[in-house]
Amino acid sequence: MDLPSFPASAAGPDLRHVILGSEGRLGVITRATIYVRPLPEAEQFHALFFRDWSSGVEAVRSIAQAEVPLSMMRLSDKMETQTTLILSGRERLVALADLGLRALGYGEPLCLLLIGATGSPRKVRTAIRQATALARRHGGLFTGTMIGKMWRKSRFHTPYLRNTLWEHGYALDTLETAVPWASVAATVDLVRQALRQELAPKGEHVLAFAHLSHIYRSGASTYFTYLFPRSADPDATFSNWLTLKTLASEVIVKQGGTISHQHGVGRDHAPYLTAEKGPVGMDMLSALVRETDPEELLNPGILLRDEKKS
């Protein structure tokens, strides 16, 4: 199959999207045309604090719906805010910032909003000014670039903590979804609550926190990180992970969220795909697989559960 690189087309469904979203079930990409653009002249990351989560959510929503040209917004809940600041490695600066925030009436619980703007210096200045003006209407306190610079410097370090935590007896994983604005608050509350409480009968504590990212006019991606004690028995650790993952996925589906905003379906999420696509949609996906891979050789078991029996 050779798909031309049109700038745009109205000639039926875009088959490129079908192929790229199939997780290897429909074929292998052997050649691709990519588009390039110049590196931006300027990029800045700024930080704001909110006294509570709901104020931060409303600020992010207003910025998105005003179509302020930011390249990034990330709103962290209280627990993730504390974790982000602790992991910055700048204890003295964080302590001084905490004193300053308290003096201005911003004590715990605080929620951190990071915003980024990319482009010409003028475009960056304008976007930051517009975003902060809207955030202030919801009680946002603008603190400049210090925390944004710290985050930018260390943002790719955090994933490496997974192995360190494992060595110290803790397992860590993430999961995510995307929901309309009307469902953001309930989804975050219910998923966090489910993760934190599910292992309590076993006497095990689960640390769970969340942030909003990938913000849209109609809603946002809600992203969850959870940490739980690792058992000496690998099967017990896997069982606990599966329990938490299953429960969170069920909550997401009940809230009307997508089973994945960015991680994909794979095998873990395949049981929940029907709730999103519906029976007809699943039949369409199965028909595509039968047409492009009748022997089911390409990544079997991914995306669709009902494989033919060998």
Tell me the three state secondary structure of residue 215. strand
Looking at the structure, tell me whether residues 171 and 99 fall in a common domain.
no
Tell me the pTM.
Answer: 0.91
Looking at the structure, tell me whether residues 79 and 149 fall in a common domain.
yes
The answer to whether position 17 is within a domain reads no
Looking at the structure, tell me whether residues 219 and 128 fall in a common domain.
no
Looking at the structure, tell me whether residues 115 and 219 fall in a common domain.
no
Looking at the structure, tell me whether residues 61 and 147 fall in a common domain.
yes
The answer to whether position 190 is within a domain reads yes
d(CA 234, CA 220): 35
d(CA 94, CA 248): 33
Q: Strand 207-215 relative to strand 111-119: parallel, antiparallel, unpaired?
A: unpaired
Number of structural domains found in the chain: 2
Which one of 226, 254, 282 terminates a domain?
Answer: 254
Supply the range of the domain harboring residue 102: 42-155
What is the token pair recorded at 285? 């996906």
The answer to whether position 22 is within a domain reads no
Looking at the structure, tell me whether residues 243 and 181 fall in a common domain.
yes
Peptide bond into 109 cis (omega under 30): yes
**Mind listing the pLDDT tens digit of every residue in the chain (310 residues)?**
899 888 899 999 999 989 988 999 998 999 999 999 999 999 999 999 999 999 999 999 999 999 999 999 999 999 999 888 777 666 666 666 666 676 667 777 689 999 999 999 999 999 999 999 999 999 999 999 988 998 898 888 878 888 999 999 999 999 999 999 999 999 999 999 999 999 999 999 999 999 999 999 999 999 999 999 999 999 999 999 999 999 999 999 999 999 999 999 999 999 999 999 999 999 999 999 999 999 988 988 888 875 554 4
The answer to whether position 110 is within a domain reads yes
d(CA 12, CA 5): 15
Looking at the structure, tell me whether residues 58 and 112 fall in a common domain.
yes
